[in-house]
């Protein structure tokens, strides 16, 4: 990216957009490694933006999404089957991770639903198009604050 031809009035050569998570801010019981890794991603944004901006004209931004509607959040989790059990008789738990996480409770303030992929894409587009967005992680979460336990 540093070898790209500079463009625009500021001589920008590109932008790096990293994805963290709201877990970087409010980790949950049993999610130590996940929260720590997402916190690490969040923590590199400002120093990397300073370094790459001065050296190469590259911006760095981050997005910390809350709960978004994806295959994982909508797909029911299959319960493990005992050895020798028939596949058609296997039970499933209700709902995906979104339902199991209680997404219909007061966790999400407004709008009271999971995020949609197009909303995430709109934020990425704004980050790319706005040259003053640099060195910051934006929470995209509908004001969700995850409880310590689900």
Question: In the structure encoding, which two tokens stand for residue 20, read together?
Answer: 């963290």
DSSP 84: T
The CA R_g of the chain, rounded to the nearest whole Å, is 19
Rounded to whole angstroms, what are the CA distances from 79 to 9, 68, 83, 89, 92? Answer: 56, 23, 13, 11, 6
Omega of the bond prior to 111 within 30 degrees of 0, cis?
A: yes
Which residues are CB-contacts of 148 (< 8 A; sequence separation ≥ 6)? 26, 28, 29
Q: Is 34 a catalytic residue?
A: yes
Residue 34: its H or E element:
helix 32-56
Q: Are the beta carbons of 117 and 65 closer than 8 angstroms?
A: no
Q: Of 25, 34, 68, 120, which is the active-site residue?
A: 34
Longest dimension (CA), the chain: 67
Residues classed as catalytic: 34
């Amino acid at each position: 990216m540093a070898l790209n031809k500079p463009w625009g009035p500021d001589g920008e050569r590109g932008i790096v957009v990293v994805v963290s998570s709201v877990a970087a801010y409010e980790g949950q019981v049993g999610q130590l490694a996940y929260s720590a890794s997402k916190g690490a991603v969040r923590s590199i944004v400002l120093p990397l933006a300073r370094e790459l901006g001065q050296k190469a004209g590259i911006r760095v931004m981050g997005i910390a999404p809350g709960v978004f509607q994806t295959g994982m959040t909508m797909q029911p989790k299959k319960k493990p089957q005992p050895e020798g059990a028939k596949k058609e008789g296997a039970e499933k738990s209700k709902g995906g991770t979104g339902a199991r996480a209680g997404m219909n409770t007061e966790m999400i303030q407004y709008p009271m639903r999971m995020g949609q992929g197009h909303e995430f894409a709109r934020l990425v587009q704004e980050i790319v198009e706005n040259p003053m967005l640099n060195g910051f992680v934006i929470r995209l979460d509908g004001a969700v604050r995850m409880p310590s336990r689900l």
